[in-house]
């Protein structure tokens, strides 16, 4: 039987990358931490950590155990919340994590419907990117996360479920007076020599990839992390931008947009939930999100 206290110690060692720092966090001696890790390794029959010049790192077995530890901690938190619900008269609570453009365009419509059906629920919304929100769901600090990924496989973290919601095509946003204004579609290969404004670091990385395939190097005017800011810079004539449809600005003044034609990336939006913690509130919000994206109107810039 694996000792859950030892799993907690392993988690702290992994988080800090050091026996000494983990010991300080746990208020133990480094020797005690080392002994507990050694005992855990004897139980599972294989090393769970390795020492390197960068500190202490997890082995594959260690990663499996820390993921299990996170799941156990989340289940315990869920049990505490359920017991609290049964023994108190406090309102039911739901915590949702979302990326910024999803929180601006998709989530408000869904929550308006949801709160109409569940007026007594206390809602908490956390703004975070998928790489941060997925661990939050796993840890039990959020019930649901609105996430995205680009080309490739969707996220499939241990103990969590992923449900696709919509494909979010990319658009090329240009100043209104640009030579390509009025075009309905543009290929990346046509945009060699343009200066680019990035509203997301991962979009910049993908643009570099597709531009290299088209035979040119991207000229970057700004590497930002906000699509609305990027479009304001496009409006000011700083450059052009590649923007997902959900993140297109609602104010088309001074801008024009053309659909990105293949080859090029596409953003995919979905929802991550904990596999064994999908109660009626989560199920209700999932249902509302599905209805919301099926009726999501195009932004004025996409129809201008």
- Is the CB of residue 204 less than 8 Å from the CB of residue 198? yes
**206 preceded by a cis bond (ω within 30 of 0):** no
Task: Extract the tokens encoding 300.
Answer: 């004025």
N-term to C-term CA, the chain: 63
Q: What is the pLDDT of residues 195-251, one digit of tens each?
A: 999 999 889 899 999 999 999 999 999 999 999 999 999 999 999 999 999 999 999
Task: Extract the tokens encoding 144.
Answer: 């649901």
Query: CA-CA distance, 152 to 206, in Å (whole number)?
Result: 12
Share above pLDDT 70 across residues of the chain, in percent, rounded to a whole number? 94
Q: What is the pLDDT of residues 126-136, one digit of tens each?
A: 999 999 999 88
Residue 78 pLDDT > 80, yes or no? no
pLDDT confidence of 77, banded at 50, 70, 90?
Answer: low
Residue 71 pLDDT > 80, yes or no? no
Query: CA-CA distance, 100 to 105, in Å (whole number)?
Result: 9
Query: Which strand (E) or helix (H) includes residue 132?
Result: helix 130-138
pLDDT confidence of 86, banded at 50, 70, 90?
Answer: low
Tell me the pLDDT of the chain averaged across its residues: 89
Q: Is residue 17 classed exposed, middle or buried when 0-12, 13-18 and 19+ CB atoms within 10 A define those classes?
A: middle
| Of the candidates 213, 208, 245, 244, the residue with the CA atom closest to the CA atom of residue 223 | 208
Q: Is residue 31 classed exposed, middle or buried when 0-12, 13-18 and 19+ CB atoms within 10 A define those classes?
A: exposed
β-partners of residue 199 are none
- Is the CB of residue 134 less than 8 Å from the CB of residue 272? yes
- Is the CB of residue 262 less than 8 Å from the CB of residue 213? no
Number of Cβ within 10 Å of residue 259's Cβ equals 15
**Is this prediction's pTM over 0.85?**
no
β-partners of residue 259 are 171, 185
Q: How far is CA 106 from the centre of its chain?
A: 15
Query: CA-CA distance, 158 to 135, in Å (whole number)?
Result: 10
Residue 62 pLDDT > 70, yes or no? yes
Query: Which strand (E) or helix (H) includes residue 260?
Result: strand 255-260
The pLDDT of 116-121, averaged and rounded, is 91
């Amino acid at each position: 039987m694996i000792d859950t206290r030892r799993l907690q110690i392993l988690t702290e060692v992994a988080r800090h990358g050091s026996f000494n720092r983990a010991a300080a966090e746990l208020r133990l001696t480094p020797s005690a931490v080392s002994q507990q890790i050694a005992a855990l390794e004897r139980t599972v029959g294989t090393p769970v950590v390795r020492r390197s010049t960068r500190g202490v790192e997890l082995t594959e077995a260690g990663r499996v155990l820390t993921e299990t530890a996170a799941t156990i901690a989340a289940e315990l938190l869920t049990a505490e919340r359920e017991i609290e619900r049964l023994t108190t008269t406090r309102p039911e609570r739901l915590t949702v994590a979302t990326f910024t453009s999803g929180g601006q365009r998709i989530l408000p419509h869904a929550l308006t419907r949801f709160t109409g059906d569940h007026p007594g629920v206390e809602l908490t919304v956390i703004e975070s990117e998928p790489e941060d929100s997925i661990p939050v769901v796993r840890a039990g600090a959020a019930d649901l996360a609105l996430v995205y990924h680009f080309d490739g496989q969707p996220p499939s973290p241990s103990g969590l479920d992923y449900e696709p919601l919509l494909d979010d095509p990319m658009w090329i946003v240009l100043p209104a007076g640009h030579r390509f204004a009025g075009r309905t579609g543009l290929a990346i290969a046509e945009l060699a020599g343009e200066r680019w404004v990035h509203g997301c670091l991962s979009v910049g990385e993908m643009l570099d990839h597709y531009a290299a395939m088209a035979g040119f190097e991207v000229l970057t005017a700004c590497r930002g992390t906000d699509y609305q800011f990027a479009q304001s810079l496009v409006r000011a004539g700083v450059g052009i931008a590649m923007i997902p449809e959900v993140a297109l600005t609602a104010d088309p003044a001074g801008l024009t947009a053309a659909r990105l034609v293949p080859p090029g990336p596409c953003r995919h939006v979905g929802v991550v939930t904990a596999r064994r913690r999908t109660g009626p509130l989560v199920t209700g919000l999932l249902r509302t999100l599905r209805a919301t994206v099926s009726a999501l109107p195009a932004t004025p810039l996409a129809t201008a």
